[in-house]
Amino acid sequence: MQADAELLEVRDLTIAFPAGETPLLAADRVAFSVKAGRTLGLVGESGCGKSVTLRSLLGMVPYPGEVLAGEIRWQGEDLRVASRKRLAALRGREISMVFQDPTSCLNPVFTIGDQMGETLRKRAGMGKAQARRRAVELLDRVGVPSPERRLRAYPHHLSGGMRQRVMIAIAIAAEPQLLLADEPTTALDVTTQEQILSLLLEVQRDTGMAILLVSHDLGVIAETCDEVIVMYAGRMVEAGLAPAVMRSPRHPYTRGLIKAMPSLDVSGGVPAAPIPGQPPNLAALPPGCPFQPRCALARPECAEIPVTLDGDLLAHGSACPFAEGAAA
C-alpha cells in the first residue's frame, strides 16, 4: 500500500440509541479519513462517542444502537451495505482491533498458544505447526519474554501489560492495513503505557499500517498521533494536525483538556485544572453547542450556532466561532 493512500473514509456518520420518542445520538455527523502509515486520534471524555464510532466501522455497534446515516468506505467499498460474511472476513485480516481490556477479550480457559493458533489458522490460513512457529515470532516481536513458554500459559498467568501485548500480537497476526485501538493503555501503569504506545508505532513503521487510536488522554494522543479529532457529546468540536491542536487549540473544550493534563514540572509549573461541571447527558443536551453549560466563553448566541467545523484536519477546524482572540 502506497504511503498516504486513503484507506478509510467516513462521512456524516450518525449513530443512535433508542430513548423514548427522541433517540440519543452517540455520534452526530462524524467525518474523517485515515491514510496508510498515519495515525489519527479520537479524543474526549468518556461517553463522547469515540468508542462507538470505532466499533461502527466493523459493524459492531452494541445493541440496541444502530447507524442511522452516513458513509463508511473502506478503500472505496461501502461497509454499511456489506454482508455479515464480508465484515467477518474483513475483521482481523484487513482491519484489526485492540480493545481496552485484554482480560475480557482473551478466553480464560484456553492457553495463549491455542488462541493465537486459532487466529492464525482462520485469518492467515496456516497449518498447526506453521501457526505455532508464527505465534512464537509474533510474541517475540511484541516484546513478550520467553515466547515459547508463554504459549503454554493461560491469560491469568500474565500481567496486564503482557496480556495487552498478546492482544496486539493477535491483532497484527494477519498484517492488517488498519489497526483500531480503543483505549489500549488505559488500565496500564505509565511505564507499560509508554512501552505499548512505542510498540504500536514501531509496528506501524515496519509495516506501513494505519492506526485509528481512541483515548480520553490528550497526552497520549499528542505523543502518538499525526492528526487528532476532539469529540464532545457525539460531535466533532475540533480537528487538525496534532502539533497544531496542542500548540494552538481553537475550541474551549480542547483548551480545557490541555489545562487538565498533569504537568511533570514540580518547580512552579501551572497546576492541572479540571474542566468545571459534569460530562454531558445525551438525553438533556442544550440547544446549539453542547459544551455551553461548562464553557467560560458561553453567551446567548451559543444556543443558536450549528456544531459544525469551519475547516478539515489540514485546515485545523473548530466548531466555536467565539473563541478566536479569547485567552486560551
Q: Which amino acid, residue 212?
A: L
Residue with the larger pLDDT of the pair 313 and 240: 240
Provide, rounded to the nearest whole percent, the portion of the chain with pLDDT above 90.
78
Q: Is 277 left (phi over 0), alpha (psi -120 to 50) or beta?
A: left
**Residues 282-286: what's their mean pLDDT?**
93
pLDDT of residue 262: 79
CA gap 193, 110 in Å, rounded: 26
For residue 80, the Cα-to-chain-centroid distance in whole angstroms is 20
In a domain, residue 91? The reply is no
CA gap 191, 221 in Å, rounded: 16
Q: How confident is the model at residue 225 (pLDDT cuts 50, 70, 90)?
A: very high
CA gap 77, 107 in Å, rounded: 32
CA gap 64, 131 in Å, rounded: 37
Retrieve residue 13's grid coordinates: 456518520
In a domain, residue 19? The reply is yes
pLDDT of residue 187: 76
Q: What is the CATH number of the domain that holds 258?
A: 3.40.50.300
pLDDT of residue 41: 97
pLDDT of 186 over the 70 cut: yes
In a domain, residue 233? The reply is yes
pLDDT of 326 over the 80 cut: no
CA gap 218, 223 in Å, rounded: 9
pLDDT of 255 over the 60 cut: yes
Q: Are 143 and 199 in contact (CB under 8 A)?
A: yes
pLDDT of residue 100: 83
In a domain, residue 48? The reply is yes
In a domain, residue 127? The reply is no
Q: CA–CA distance from 17 to each of 42, 43, 304 (Å)?
A: 20, 21, 25
Residue 103 burial (C-beta neighbours within 10 Å; 0-12, 13-18, 19+): middle
42 phi/psi in degrees, rounded to 5: -110, 120
- Contacts (Cβ under 8 Å, ≥6 apart) of 86: none
Alpha helix (H) ranges present in 182-296? 190-207, 218-224, 242-247, 252-259
Q: Which amino acid, residue 278?
A: Q
- Which residue segment(s) compose the domain that 260 sits in? 6-84+216-318
Q: What is the DSSP letter of 156?
A: G
Retrieve residue 133's grid coordinates: 512457529
Rounded to the nearest integer, the mean pLDDT of the chain is: 92
In a domain, residue 33? The reply is yes
pLDDT of residue 251: 97
Q: How confident is the model at residue 14 (pLDDT cuts 50, 70, 90)?
A: very high
Q: Are 59 and 79 in contact (CB under 8 A)?
A: yes
Provide, rounded to the nearest whole percent, the portion of the chain with pLDDT above 70.
95
In a domain, residue 251? The reply is yes
pLDDT in tens, 193-214: 899 899 999 999 999 999 999 9
**Residues 61-83: what's their mean pLDDT?**
95
In a domain, residue 95? The reply is no
Domains contained in the chain, number: 1
pLDDT of 254 over the 70 cut: yes
